[in-house]
């Protein structure tokens, strides 16, 4: 089994080294063949240099690849650029900052290998999820409103509890197919991928995660409202 881990990053020089190290250790600890792809979305800091420096440390054991987009396009673009270069039997992406320990991926891989789904989503909302450091009440309210909106307006399955969790695993062929068609460059790419997956009759399952809130979030629900809304309109039209 080969696992590709894609880590999107934008100005994450203070975190990316720890992310790459944690991902490398995860692959080695579990005896997985694999690769780590850091998709740097036009960072203005030393994100790429830090990722390469840690990757060099593991070069004889794990294949670490760094993609540098010359301009900042958005998280969806970064994830897509990484997944399009992934060669694994299974492909996952994980947000920078190690909010979810990589060992949590074993739960999703178990579902995929047992053929219980084609896509496995980490979820912070399931009963067995462990929130080490939770969001504040404002973000909880915004999250609840967003979930209500997308399940009704975007017609997503109501059983999906956490569409925006940045910890998802796919069958490799499914990931490459869906992301090859994705047109959303911004934060709402998850919604487009889910809609495309449903249209293609792929099965989505969730698994509980251990999660620590990263206060350094790049998405502000209020400042980004119109950008989010326009992306969702674009997704509805495209899918």
Question: What pLDDT shows up at residue 128?
Answer: 95
From 82, 142, 91, 80, select the one nearest 120 (Cα to Cα). 91
Question: Which tens digit of pLDDT belongs to each residue from 172-192?
Answer: 999 999 999 999 999 999 999
Model confidence pTM above 0.85: yes
* DSSP state letters, 109-152: HHHHHTTS-SEEEEESSSTT-EEEEPPPHHHHHHHHHHHHHHHH
CATH number at residue 215: 3.90.550.10
Question: Which tens digit of pLDDT belongs to each residue from 210-232?
Answer: 999 887 666 665 567 778 889 99
Domain residues for the domain of 170 are 2-238
Question: What pLDDT shows up at residue 138?
Answer: 60
Stretch (H or E) spanning 1:
none
Contacts (Cβ under 8 Å, ≥6 apart) of 149 = none
User: Rounded to the nearest 10 degrees, what angle do helices 172-181 and 189-199 cross at?
Assistant: 110
pLDDT (tens, 9 = 90+) of the chain, 239 residues, equals 999 999 999 999 999 999 999 999 999 999 999 999 999 999 999 999 999 999 999 999 999 999 999 999 999 999 999 999 999 999 999 999 999 999 999 999 999 999 999 999 999 999 999 988 766 666 667 777 887 888 888 999 999 999 999 999 999 999 999 999 999 999 999 999 999 999 999 999 999 999 998 876 666 655 677 788 899 989 999 99
Question: What pLDDT shows up at residue 202?
Answer: 98
Rounded CA separation 121/193 (Å): 12
Domain count, the chain: 1
CA dihedral 180→92→148→116, nearest 10 degrees, is 100
């Amino acid at each position: 089994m080969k696992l590709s881990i894609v880590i999107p990053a934008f100005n994450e020089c203070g975190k990316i080294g720890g992310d790459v190290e944690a991902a490398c250790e995860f692959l080695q600890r579990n005896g997985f063949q694999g690769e780590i792809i850091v998709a740097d979305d036009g960072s203005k800091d030393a994100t790429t240099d830090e990722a390469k420096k840690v990757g060099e440390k593991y070069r004889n054991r794990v294949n670490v690849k760094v993609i540098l987009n010359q301009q900042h396009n958005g998280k969806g673009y970064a994830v897509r650029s990484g997944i399009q270069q992934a060669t694994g039997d299974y492909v996952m992406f994980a947000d920078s900052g190690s909010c979810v320990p990589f060992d949590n991926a074993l739960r999703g891989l178990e579902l995929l290998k047992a053929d219980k789904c084609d896509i496995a989503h980490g979820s912070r909302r399931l009963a067995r999820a462990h929130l080490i450091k939770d969001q504040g009440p404002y973000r909880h309210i915004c999250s609840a409103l967003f979930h209500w909106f997308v399940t009704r307006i975007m017609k997503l399955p109501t059983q999906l509890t956490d569409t925006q969790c940045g910890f998802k695993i796919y069958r490799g062929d499914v990931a490459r197919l869906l992301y090859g068609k994705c047109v959303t460059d911004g934060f709402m790419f998850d919604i487009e991928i889910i809609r495309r997956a449903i249209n293609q009759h792929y099965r989505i399952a969730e698994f509980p995660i251990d999660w620590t809130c990263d206060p350094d979030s790049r998405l502000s629900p209020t400042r980004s409202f119109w950008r989010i809304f326009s992306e969702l309109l674009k997704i509805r039209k495209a899918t």
